[in-house]
A and B are shown apart, each in its own frame.
Chain A
Amino acid sequence: MRFAVVVFPGSNCDVDMYHAIKDELGEEVQYVWHDDQELSSFDGILIPGGFSYGDYLRGGAIARFSNVMNSIYEANKAGKPILGVCNGFQILLEAGLLPGAMQRNEKLKFICRQVELIVENNETMFTSLYGKEEKITVPVAHGEGNYFCDEATYERLVENKQIAFRYGTNINGSRHDIAGITNDVGNVLGMMPHPERAVDELLGSRDGLKLFQSIVKSWREAHVVSS
């Protein structure tokens, strides 16, 4: 499987993402600059964290109008897996690929530590290798991870099983402890915690690796005919 790691000016988790795919997951991966238009040769799109365009105006607000976004919309139409982590999640929200918006953390502090997540939906292409309600440990590192959506949107998220992860303990004020959501058809996942930083015991946890393995499993089932 071939992954693209989209790099914006100000991305800073791109190398972690690349490492997770290449060295821990063992799949093909390539950086794609935000000015590039071409993503059609990739099977999965990864939008890493950081501070794209310095978070000017709002996190992700300017990145969503970069050239590469048109190819990301195309990839979405084709149903390809698209994962946005941290600032990548903010970009997906700003781009309207996921519902809701991100605000400053409730206590205004930048939070950088391991947190417990609960896998709410293990029937997505991103979470199929986790158990239902499995508790996993993954780090967060954000100042604006306070997820907001109105009550009607929240009810839709619940009804469509779009909530992939919730925080074990609400760290940032997110509505209903939401840590990660998918779009209604399930090929786009946005999450504030960093699974790419939890792929090796050396990093304190390898609970994030199953997320990437789930993507590969789903892709293989759809694209590789067993001999």
Chain B
Amino acid sequence: MYNVKVFVTLKESVLDPQGAAVKDSLHHLSYQSVEDVRIGKYIELTLKKEDGDIDAQVREICEKLLANTVIEDFTYEIEEVVPQ
């Protein structure tokens, strides 16, 4: 079995209106040292172990559905675990 952690983030070239609002709020709370805030998504997948390339499969899942590659980048971490 695999536990997969997927991180979806906005591309650097894309403005992040949510991040900008959170940054303003942090400044209001007097965290003036905060220079930038970017908001993304964290997704956990649990996959059964099957034949085939797990890395390629996760990449395909991200490209097809989890991220919109027009505006988003993604990274992932795959961890193999033994089911209890």
Contacts and interface: CB of A to CB of B under 8 A. Distances in A.
Q: Is the interface of B mostly helix, strand, loop or mixed?
A: loop
Given A57-B65, A61-B65, A150-B13, A108 B21 contact: yes
B13 to A, nearest CB: 7
Contacts of B66: 57
B70 A100 contact: yes
Contacts of A43: none
Q: Is the interface of A mostly helix, strand, loop or mixed?
A: loop
Given A61-B65, A65-B65, A108 B70 contact: no
Contacts of B15: 103, 106, 173
B71 A107 contact: no
Contact of A106 (B13, B14, B17, B65): B17
Interface residues of A, number: 21
A156 to B, nearest CB: 14
A146 B20 CA distance: 15
Contacts of A205: none
B11 to A, nearest CB: 9
Given A94-B68, A101-B70, A103-B71, A148 B14 contact: yes
A53 to B, nearest CB: 12
B57 to A, nearest CB: 17
Given A106-B17, A108-B21, A148 B65 contact: no
